[in-house]
Amino acid sequence: MAGKSSWVIDTHAQAALTLLDRYDSFLLDCDGVLWQGGEVVPGAAEALQLLTSLGKRIVYVTNNSTRSRKEYTSKFAKLHIQPDYRDIYPASYAAALYIAEQGARKAFVIGGEGLQAEIKAFGIDVVPGNSVPALTSEDDFCKLTVDPAIDAVVCAFDFGLSYTKIAFASLVLEKNPTSVFVGTSRDQYDQLLDRRIPGMTAGVAGIEATSGRAATIVGKPSTWLAATIMRDKGLDPRRTCMVGDRLDSDILFGNRSGIDTIAVLTGCTSLEQLLALKPDSEDRPTHVLTSFGLLAPPATSSL
């Protein structure tokens, strides 16, 4: 059963023997697996090239919502590959697809231009978070009006997250109670080199607390997202694995969806955390790989 056994793989020979024959398809997280901040993980580019040469299916699944799928392809230039944008599933696309499936026509959106572009691509009107006048008093809040046509609220990563945006999102859900409420993730933070950057937990939790509504999370570990990818790509779950650096999103995503999982140690999760997991933990990976770059042939890997 997926996620019920774990061992550390720390050589290329082990990685090739254990993983390459077992799996035909790889779902790859990006931050913490392929790159960390602006730096490519050593050997990651060569590992991708090897998987491609072997005819493996590769799908990129990231909770990053700042870019659209087409914009995301530029991130792969450092890896010397040019994936089809349709093989990239950022949380921005997941949010847009989900609210479109729910029949949304107009959405209040906390998030960047990449997210807004994905939503607009489905023919959904966008009310950007930045369009709400900044609140400076309770009187300002009481003067706000909500368009009754808004039928979705989307909360994603936003460097400009503010009290005003959270307050207005909550007001939309109060005044338009049938609106769809979507969060892209509950990631608490991301690891960028030697420091942590806050995730979107604060934004989603703030809206939930005020509105009394629970967000539908459409990024990892959403089983809806996993089912969508497996269906879209025609993948066999028995021959597919999820590779990621976060236990509470990447590994849980695979385990809950019935596919094997590989945790890497180049991002948010340490070996100590993995060794502390109980045998029946829901977020226990099937395999532990010290780095995705270990899949690279020894002659080209810097590990």
Strand 106-110 with 125-128, pairing: parallel
Instruction: Please answer whether residues 4 and 254 qualify as being in contact, where contact means their C-beta atoms are separated by less than 8 angstroms.
Output: no
Angle between helices 201-211 and 163-175 (to 10 degrees): 40
Tokens of 6: 């774990």
How far apart CA 25 and CA 55 sit, in angstroms, is 9
CA distance 123 to 119: 7
Query: Which one of 10, 21, 24, 232 is the catalytic residue?
Result: 24
Q: How far apart, in whole angstroms, are the C-alpha atoms of residue 13 and residue 29?
A: 23
Q: Is there a catalytic annotation at residue 187?
A: no
Dist CA 172 CA 146 (whole Å) = 6
- What are the C-alpha distances in Å from 283 to residues 2, 238, 249? 10, 18, 8
The span from the CA of 49 to the CA of 266, in Å, is 19
Count of alpha carbons within 13 Å of 215, Cβ hemisphere only? 27
Residue among 132, 128, 65 nearest 98 (CA): 65
What radius of gyration do the chain's Cα atoms show? 20
Q: What are the angstrom distances between the C-alpha of 261 and each of 25, 183, 250, 270, 293?
A: 12, 24, 8, 16, 16
Three-state DSSP state, 187? coil
* Residues with catalytic function: 24
